[in-house]
Amino acid sequence: MKQFLLAPSILSADFARLGEDTAKALAAGGDVVHFDVMDNHYVPNLTMGPMVLKALRDYGITAPIDVHLMVKPVDSLIPQFAEAGASFITFHPEASEHIDRSLQLIKEYGCKAGLVFNPATPLSYLDYVMDKLDIILLMSVNPGFGGQSFIPGTLDKLREARKRIDESGYDIRLEVDGGVKVDNIAEIAAAGADMFVAGSAIFGQSDYKKVINDMRNELEK
């Protein structure tokens, strides 16, 4: 697998032409589709469910789909998203009554599993589950909306998460979500991230390929 993965967040895509716009972001060089699920309960916004994910698969999207669950409760949606075609499923630990059980459920359904940390959620949730994780996702904004600014304190937290991953010896991706742009992606990578969600930075421009190429060039510097 690539050293760095770019995950366009389709939260900022054109929902009236979602299949087409998603395919366009992948053709422009996106590696993974980031799929934000919001429930108007855990976060104050409402987005997409498993039917929309299934529709993307039926449309012909074959790239990995990274389902970011911003929902409470968590477990009832895991089988539905897995059956709809999710590749990765991540959830916020404080939204699950039984974190270990939720992680196991994701694995039982054949998906890769991860935990998501809000800016003020402590990394201590990692303590007893490192062996069950494929991804750690650090939010660099408060979840709920695209187009917010990157919270600088995330850089220290990324360094801490990178250290934990390296010390654990497990093969775990370190993903960052929120406010990632061409002008800060290099600094975010230097802090230890290797998977980058970008919504408004990509879909807010007419030339997706240029943004994605610019991001890759920054990562190669």
Among ligand DX5, Zn ion, none, what does residue 178 contact (CB within 5–8 Å per kind)? ligand DX5
Shortest gap between Cβ of 153 and ligand DX5 (angstroms)? 16
Which range of residues in 95-103, 117-125, 167-175, 194-202 is near ligand DX5 by CB under 6 A? 194-202
| Residue 114 found at the interface with ligand DX5 (CB under 6 A) | no
All residues at 6 or more sequence positions from 44 whose CB lies less than 8 Å from its CB, including other chains? 144
Q: Whole-number minimum distance, CB 131 to ligand DX5, in Å? A: 26
Separation CA 20–CA 154 (nearest Å): 33
Q: Which residues pair with 139 in a beta bridge?
A: 177
- Answer yes or no whether residue 146 interacts with ligand DX5 by CB under 6 A: yes
How many binding residues for ligand DX5 (CB under 6 A)?
22
Closest CA to 49 of 33, 35, 34: 35
Choose which of 199, 208, 212, 219 interacts with ligand DX5 (CB under 6 A). Answer: 199
Footprint of Zn ion on 176-195 (CB under 5 A): 177
Q: How near is the Cβ of 199 to Zn ion at its closest, in Å?
A: 8
Select 36 or 194, whichever has its Cβ closest to ligand DX5.
Answer: 36
Angstrom distance (rounded) from CA 218 to CA 11: 24
Q: Does the active-site annotation cover 177?
A: yes
Among residues 68, 92, 157, 164, the one that binds ligand DX5 under rule CB under 6 A:
68
Catalytic residue among 31, 36, 66, 194: 36
Query: At residue 168, what are phi and psi to the nearest 5 degrees?
Result: -75, -30
The residues in 16-35 that bind ligand DX5, with binding defined as CB under 6 A, are 34
- Binding to ligand DX5, residues 149-178 (CB under 6 A): 177-178
The DSSP string of 57-97 is: HHHT--S-EEEEEE-SS-TTHHHHHHHHT-SEEEE-GGG-S
Cβ distance 211 to 23 under 8 Å? no
| Binding residues vs ligand DX5 (CB under 6 A) | 9, 11-12, 34, 36, 68, 141, 143-148, 177-180, 197-201
Q: Which residues are catalytic?
A: 36, 177
